Amino acid sequence: MSHPRISVFAGSAKGIVDPIRVITGQASLLARTMHTLSLDSVHDEIVVPNPFAEALLFFRAAGSGEEKPIRIIQGPKTMLTYTDNAAVDPVHNEVFTSQRRTDSVMVFSREANGDVAPIRVIHGPKTKLDRPVQVSVDPVNNILAVTTMEGLWIFNRTDNGDVAPRAIISGPKTGISGGNSELKVMVYPEGKKIFVSGGGPLKIWNYDDNGDVPPWGILTSSSKTEMHGSVSRVAINRAAKELIVLNRTSGVFIFSMPDLIQ
Amino acid sequence: MEFQMNQWSANKTFSLLAALAGISACIVSGAGRSYFSSSVWAQDSKKPADRKSIVLDRSPIRKLEDPNATLHAIAVDVERGEVFVGNDNIMSPPSIMAYPLDFAPTDKVMEPKRRIAGPKTNLGAICGLAISPEAKELYAVDGDGESMDVFSLEANGDVPPARQLAVAHGSGGVYLDLKHDELFITTEHVNKITVFRRTAQGEEKPLRTIQGSRTKLADSHGIYVDTDKDEIFVVNHGHWRETAPGEDDARRKGGDGSRRHPGVPEDLAPSTGQFFPPSITVYSRTAQGDVAPLRVIEGPRTRLNVPSGILLDPASNQLIVANAGDDSLLFFDRDAVGNAAPVRVLQGPLTNIKGPTGISVDLKRNELWVTNWDNHTATVFPRNAKGNVAPLRLIRTAPKDVPAPGFATAGGLAYDPKRDEILINN
């Protein structure tokens, strides 16, 4: 078990380097098992989950040291259960989180604080949500992408209640079905692509894909990529056209992707 | 998701309007195609179900690494004159290393006498270590896996465990009660103490468990059992939710959530999560079920800050806490209760203590051992050390000034375009 923390590195860092700052310590209320980190560049904030206290924590993006959260969503009304993921929509001031334990996706006001009810909940038999793992939201194209144990579910951003997804990418050709609890997701609005990591190569689909379809593209571990095992997480540096990849057993890899990143 | 508003704000208005008009797919993808290679063009022309995935196989332009051993758990074998330290860095890869207790002080990297590592070992994020000098066994608990792996004290290299015991996901702290031949294991994810026979293996059921709302277990980590006074001491980070007995067992057997009843979603329910102060909770050694602690040490005077390891020094009758959050060791009177201040503190730049996690005492040599997760070292002090004092000697697993990136078990990743920064959380 590592120490719970958010470590910040220079974008150009390489090799073995110390973080330039770290958010950590008891006052931060950070716990292990926060499986995502969502950055809101518009409001200059970070949101991370604390599954053991069933909370969403908001920090200043420039935070450092034993920094306290500036807001906390937590309490009985929230219906959060062991939440380990979050995604911010800074355009519509909302924060999304999937709930594996209750087969649901909760949506809160981004500015909510304390014991507040979600403003929308996607939940019910029509959703076919089966232990959803992580969410990512595209506020411009109105896409809500959700990885589940059986693949990739795509909803409309504003969906609420017991609604069917607009698309389900699942099946043997996808390589992401079959009970994978590690599937993470990131939407890329500019390229209209959805990145799914965890459990093998990084897989990329188009927004309009649906059904049992192979990924549009893959980035895999190989002697050339120098990665070993599964691609765990991804992020995009759009200005530099770089894909940033976390390979948990080897490190963080930065790839130049001008052909992919617009 | 990284929302890189700054970089695409110029396109946002256009994209929003285009999206509203229902023509975004055509216009935006058309604009973007000038970036794609000819192979991408060809691939895009096929039906999705028939296409062959483009393989983005290329060399990285740079990478961030954390390849050095990160020391977490520790166990001292006084009779054999060895100390075992657990490296939980899955990029290193994970290992258990045996070093001599006696060695000439050195500032250089020390090679271990033996190292258990490799795919056959099943080692992952090693969070807890215990040893039985009598049985000549080493017990390693994997915080990210779901097993306790048992090795011979003489094990070396890529060797399989002599036996394995299934434990709950998120287990970490382990204490071997030699007097009663029982293993005590804490589980962070479900706020639980589980007691097994030392020789338990496979799916063997525990002898006892302590779990439930009355226990005040809250993101529990290190554990110590005082067999003279029959008490259990546990350090807690204070992150709490209600956990149902057997919750972890259901998960391990793949029976959590809707898998128990396919096609029928789990019901929504009020959240139970709360933040409590970090604490030391004390129980009867034979307690079981949903029992209240005998006493609790918590409050601002305690200085508890992400407490990770705990030990009772029988000679001084003091509890020692590895206080990872402020790079200190705290010493409490064994019978302290409530908002009690530590009776002494070991902390400061001379100590080399940074992110302390594991502690062990060598009663024969009157020395105190500490593993420092944040600087690739294990440090040795006189047992009565306090204040800002230099260690007697230390073990380095990386050269002195090598950075410690600290993302050994990273969970999340983001890019901040405003500051050109990469964020990683554990």
Tokens encoding A35: 């499986």
Instruction: Tell whether B258 is within 8 A of chain A (Cβ).
Output: yes
CATH at B125:
2.130.10.10
Q: Does B254 touch chain A (CB under 8 A)?
A: yes
| CB-defined contacts A:B, below 8 A | 414
| Residue B24 in this model has a pLDDT that exceeds 70 | no
Place B3 in a pLDDT band, splitting at 50, 70 and 90: very low
- Model pLDDT for residues A100-111, shown as the tens digit of each residue: 989 999 999 999
**Pick from A153-167, A176-190, A209-223: least confident:** A176-190
Comparing CA positions, the residue from B158, B184, B186, B175 lying closest to residue B75 is B175
Residue B51 to residue A214, Cβ atoms within 8 A: yes
Q: What percent of chain B has pLDDT over 90?
A: 76
Q: C-alpha dihedral over B105, B110, B116, B122, to 10 degrees?
A: 110
pLDDT in tens, A12-34: 999 999 999 999 999 999 998 88
Contact B418 A61 (CB under 8 A): yes
How far is it, in rounded angstroms, from Cα B183 to Cα B254?
25
Strand partners, B92: none
Interface touch A130/B258, C-beta < 8 Å: yes
Q: What is residue B254's predicted lDDT score, i.e. its pLDDT?
A: 52
**What contacts A203, CB < 8 A, 6 or more positions away?**
A174, A175, A176, A195, A196, A197, A215, A217, A218, B53
Output the pLDDT for position A103. Answer: 93
Q: Which residues of B touch A82 (CB under 8 A)?
A: 241
Q: Among all chains, which residue has been given the structure tokens 């765990």?
A: A232
Residue B196: per-residue pLDDT: 98
Q: How far is CA B37 from CA A189, B27, B32, B44, in A?
A: 20, 18, 11, 11
- Percent of chain B at pLDDT exceeding 70: 86
Question: Of B290 and B3, which is predicted with more confidence?
Answer: B290
Within-domain flag for B366: yes
Residue located via tokens 């069933």: A54
DSSP 8-class letter at A100:
G
**Could you tell me which residues come within 8 angstroms of residue A201 by beta carbon, excluding any fewer than 6 positions away?**
A175, A218, A219, A220, A221, A230, A231
pLDDT of residue B246: 73
Helices then strands, each counted (H, E), chain B:
4, 31
The mean per-residue pLDDT over the stretch B106-127 comes to 95
Q: Would residue B37 count as lying in a domain? A: no
Instruction: Say whether pLDDT at B37 is over 90.
Output: no
Q: Is the pTM of this model over 0.95?
A: no
B293 within domain boundaries: yes
Task: Supply φ then ψ for residue B30, to 5 degrees.
Answer: -65, -40
Interval B157-186: pLDDT, tens: 999 999 999 999 889 999 999 999 999 999
pLDDT tens per residue across span B121-159: 999 888 899 999 999 999 999 888 889 999 999 999 999
In a domain, B243, yes or no: yes
pLDDT over threshold 80, residue B30: no
Distance CA B272, CA A51 (A): 11
Going by pLDDT thresholds of 50, 70 and 90, the confidence category of residue B92 is: confident
Flag whether B127 is in a domain: yes
The answer on pLDDT for A197 being more than 90 is: yes
Count the neighbouring beta carbons within 10 Å of the beta carbon of residue A172. Answer: 9
> Pick from B19, B237, B410: which is nearest to A142 by CB?
B19
pLDDT of residue B19: 34
Alpha carbons A215 and B380: distance in angstroms, whole number: 53
Is the predicted pLDDT of residue A36 greater than 70, yes or no? Answer: yes
Report helix, strand or coil for A140.
Answer: coil
pLDDT per residue over B59-85, tens digit each?
Answer: 999 999 999 999 999 999 999 999 999
Band (B282; pLDDT cuts 50, 70, 90): very high
- Average pLDDT rounded to a whole number, residues B319-348: 98
A-facing residues of B in 5-24 (CB < 8 A) are 5-8, 11-12, 15-16, 19, 24
Q: Does B66 touch chain A if contact means CB atoms closer than 8 Å?
A: yes
User: In B212-355, which ranges are E strands?
Assistant: 220-226, 231-236, 239-240, 274-275, 279-284, 295-298, 307-313, 318-323, 328-333, 344-347
Q: Are the C-beta atoms of B71 and B369 separated by less than 8 Å?
A: no
The terminus-to-terminus CA distance of chain A in angstroms comes to 38
Chain B residues with CB-CB distance to A77 below 8 A? 270-271
Residue at token pair 């993470």: A184
B65-90: b (≥16 Cβ within 10 Å) or e:
bbbbbbbbbbbbbbeeebbbbbbbbb
Q: Which residues of A touch B327 (CB under 8 A)?
A: none
User: Using one digit for the tens of pLDDT, what is the confidence trace for A248-259?
Assistant: 888 999 999 999
Residues A45, A51, A52, A58: what is their CA dihedral angle, to the nearest 10 degrees?
A: 10
**Inter-chain CB proximity A39 and B65 less than 8 Å:** no
Residue B21 pLDDT greater than 50, yes or no: no
- CB distance A190–B32 less than 8 Å? yes
Condensed to tens digits (0 to 9), the pLDDT of residues B224-255 reads 999 999 999 999 999 999 987 777 765 555 55
Q: State pLDDT tens for residues B287-319.
A: 999 999 999 999 999 999 999 999 999 999 999
Alpha carbon distance, N-terminus to C-terminus of chain B = 17
Average pLDDT taken over every residue of chain B: 88
Per-residue pLDDT at B20 exceeds 70: no
Query: Average pLDDT of B99-110?
Result: 97
The helix or strand, by DSSP H or E, that contains position B32, with its residue range, turns out to be helix B24-32
- Domain contains B34: no
* Domain-embedded: residue B3: no
CA nearest to B32 within chain A = A262
Task: State the nearest Cα–Cα gap between A70 and chain B, in angstroms.
Answer: 15
> Which tokens in the block code for residue B173?
């702290």
From residue B294, give the alpha-carbon distance in Å to each of A144, B207, B284, B354: 49, 21, 7, 32
Has residue B44 got a pLDDT over 70?
A: no
For A170, how many CA atoms within 13 A lie in the half-sphere containing its CB?
A: 20
Total of domains in chain B: 1
Residue B5 confidence (pLDDT): 35
Q: Does B415 touch chain A (CB under 8 A)?
A: yes
Q: Name the closest residue on chain A to residue B8, using Cα atoms.
A: A190
Tokens read off for A92: 């519509």
By Cβ distance, the residue of A62, A87, A207 closest to B1 is: A87
Instruction: Grade residue B16 by pLDDT with cuts at 50, 70 and 90.
Output: very low
Q: Which of A18, A34, A244 sits opposite B425 (nearest CB)?
A: A34
Distance CA B277, CA B237 (A): 7
- Please write the tens of the pLDDT for every residue from A78-95: 999 989 999 999 999 999
Q: Give the pLDDT of residue B256.
A: 59
Residue A97 near residue A80, CB atoms below 8 Å: yes
Q: Grade residue B259 by pLDDT with cuts at 50, 70 and 90.
A: low
Q: Which residues contact B21 (CB under 8 A, 6 or more apart)?
A: none
Domain that holds residue B197: 71-250+272-396
CB contact under 8 A, A137 and B1: yes
Cβ-defined contact of B219 to A18 (cutoff 8 Å): no
Q: Which 275-334 residues of chain B touch chain A by CB within 8 A?
A: 275, 278, 304-306, 308, 324-326
Is B223 touching A (CB cutoff 8 A)?
A: no
pLDDT at B329 over 80: yes
C-beta separation of B210 from B191 below 8 A: no
In this prediction, residue B35 carries a pLDDT of: 36
> At residue A125, what are phi and psi to the nearest 5 degrees?
-65, -30
For B361-395, the pLDDT digits (tens) are 999 999 999 999 999 999 999 999 999 999 999 99
Tell me, what amino acid is at B271?
A: S
> Does residue B34 register a pLDDT over 90?
no
Q: What is the pLDDT of residue B29?
A: 28
Q: Would you state the pLDDT for residue A234?
A: 96
Examine residue B22 and state whether it is found in any structural domain, yes or no: no
